[in-house]
Amino acid sequence: MSTTVLAAGDHFVLPRLLTDAVTAAADSPVAVRELQLPWPHTPFGTVAEVTEASGTEDQMIEALRGVQICVTQLAPLTERILANCPDLELFCVSRGGPVNANLDAATQHGVAVCYAPGRNATATAEHTLTLLLAAARGVGDTHAELRRGIWRGDYYDYDSCGIEIEGTPVGLVGYGAIGSRVAKVLAAMGAEVLVHDPYAAPEALAGIAEQVSLDELLVRSRIVSLHARVTEETTGMIGRAQIAAMPRGSVLVNCARGALLDYEAVCDALDSGQLRGAGFDVFPEEPVPAGSRLLTTPGVVLTPHIAGGSQQVAHKAANIVAAEVGRYLRGEPLAHCANPDAFTS
């Protein structure tokens, strides 16, 4: 008897990618149904009690009838869905955290929820480096001016010239899967890499970076890039005082989370020359409001929260959750289960 799997994909992690990955990973027969969810053509949002979800409860209840396993990126898993889908046993979310799943309810219903840590670490690290280099060399403003037919020779003025990476102190706040990748590339480019991360193992930094306090990192670093998770401790961790502590004419980059940073303070620092450039992929409000100073302040390079998006990420995401399906069907322990108590409920 085959296991029925729902591949609830979207326009990024496509249903067919999930289907192909599950079919390849399963050692026993599986029957895969596909569901197309509307993200990103329609923004994700709150569905009942879960966040960052795409689709509706009614849509999922209908699609999950007779389904034992669901693989998805953004489909919601709510108390109501769980109550109406008694056959469901495993729900695999192909993203770094299963925020679109009600873990408590899933545990009570005996449904294991898996996720896909590290799926976009390389993509985000590469995008961070893209913004870092663009902000350090003034690519955003010069590109926009050339598109308007303006050729400015005064960018060769000493005070307008950009910053090289080689020999420059670059501070990374956070040294996880993304920060550590950024550090290795910067070190290879000849940067003096400083790291503030109380959880980083000394051996992981050896030969690559120096562990320092946040205060020391800010004082010494000409370029600072944020890679921390958002917690009560890190929310707003970089504000006016921290930016003022950086060397005048520094660069600040954030591809982590908007809540880490005071963006009004950034705009003021850019206007005053305390910062010479900034690169952002994440914001306190998304989409960025039309009247935001970030859209008009010189020196800022912006992208619309796309750091984690690449074709390779979509394949990695599908393969990570498909591997969990394979483990589950073989009776092996799951590698990335968010609610292991589901098996004892």
Q: What string of H, E and C letters represents the secondary structure of the chain?
A: CCEEEEEEECCCCCHHHHHHHHHHHCCCCEEEEEEECCCCCCCCEEECCEEEECCCHHHHHHHCCCCCEEEECCCCECHHHHHHCCCCCEEEECCCCCCCECHHHHHHCCCEEECCCCCCHHHHHHHHHHHHHHHHCCHHHHHHHHHCCCCCHHHHCHHHCCCCCCCCEEEEECCCHHHHHHHHHHHHCCCEEEEECCCCCHHHHCCCCEECCHHHHHHHCCEEEECCCCCCCCCCCECHHHHHHCCCCEEEEECCCHHHECHHHHHHHHHHCCEEEEEECCCCCCCCCCCCHHHCCCCEEECCCCCCCCHHHHHHHHHHHHHHHHHHHHCCCCCCECCHHHHHC
Distance CA 163, CA 160 (A): 10
Single out the catalytic residue among 49, 62, 164, 286: 286
* 257 in active site: yes
Single out the catalytic residue among 11, 33, 65, 257: 257
The pair of three-digit structure tokens given for residue 261, joined into one six-digit string: 């940073």
Single out the catalytic residue among 33, 65, 240, 305: 305
Strand 90-93 and strand 112-114: pairing? parallel
Phi and psi dihedrals of 282, rounded to 5? -130, 150
* 286 in active site: yes
* 216 in active site: no
For the beta carbon of residue 24, count every other beta carbon within 10 angstroms.
12
Phi and psi dihedrals of 197, rounded to 5? -160, 105
Distance CA 136, CA 115 (A): 35
Write the single-letter amino acid at 126.
Answer: E
Which residues are known catalytic residues? Answer: 257, 286, 305
